[in-house]
Amino acid sequence: MADLKAMFEALGCANVRTLLQSGNVVFEGGRRSGAALESLLEAETAKRLNLRCDYLVRSLAQWSALVAANPFPAEASRDPGHLVVMPLKTAPGKPEVVALQAAIQGREVAKASGQTLYLFYPDGIGRSKLTISVIEKKLNTRGTCRNWNTTLKLLALAEGGQPNPAPKRSIRVK
């Protein structure tokens, strides 16, 4: 994470902070944003760190909206460890979402909203057949998952507070 943070700083990002060891970076990116910033970060990570990975960048406003749009508020309160938010590279179409929902074999529930997928795993994530590879294949896009607790910590960190649940910065989720 130290190398990742240093790379962001070398690229001119300000107020760079990381959360956990899973590629969560909160930063001020200046005028660069969206897909152009994702492409730059992917290329620089390959060049500087010899790693190939996808970047999913969301502004503070987008991350706040993602939290506010959570279709599972009761589950977020009752069982936040089993509620997952999955930012996506591209928004899936309705046929892809229907195909994903048809592929669910257990009690999991998936709801899509634009470039975000919300997933609730009532029986836990570890043994579920609804894996990230199944999701990406059915939706025909790439994504990354964060549980609700981490989602709220990223929001708090981006808002300038401590990374505990509690609009100029971007949140980079890898």
Tokens of 121: 């795993």
| Average pLDDT score over the chain | 89
Q: Where are the domains of the chain?
A: 2-65+149-173, 69-147
| pLDDT bracket for residue 166 (50, 70, 90) | very low
Q: Residue 15 in 3-state DSSP?
A: strand
Dihedral of the alpha carbons of 157, 162, 163, 167, in degrees to the nearest 10: -20
pLDDT tens, position by position, 22-57: 788 988 887 777 888 999 999 999 999 999 999 999
Residue 27 CA to residue 157 CA, distance in Å, equals: 10
Residue 70 CA to residue 17 CA, distance in Å, equals: 25
Alpha helices in the chain (DSSP H): 2-10, 34-49, 60-68, 73-78, 94-103, 132-139, 148-158
Q: Is the pLDDT of residue 172 over 90?
A: no
Higher pLDDT, 77 or 19: 77
Q: Is the pLDDT of residue 167 over 50?
A: no
Predicted confidence at residue 31, as pLDDT, reads: 78
- CATH topology classification for 69-147: Alpha-Beta Plaits (3.30.70)
Check if the beta carbon of residue 68 is closer than 8 Å to that of residue 155.
no
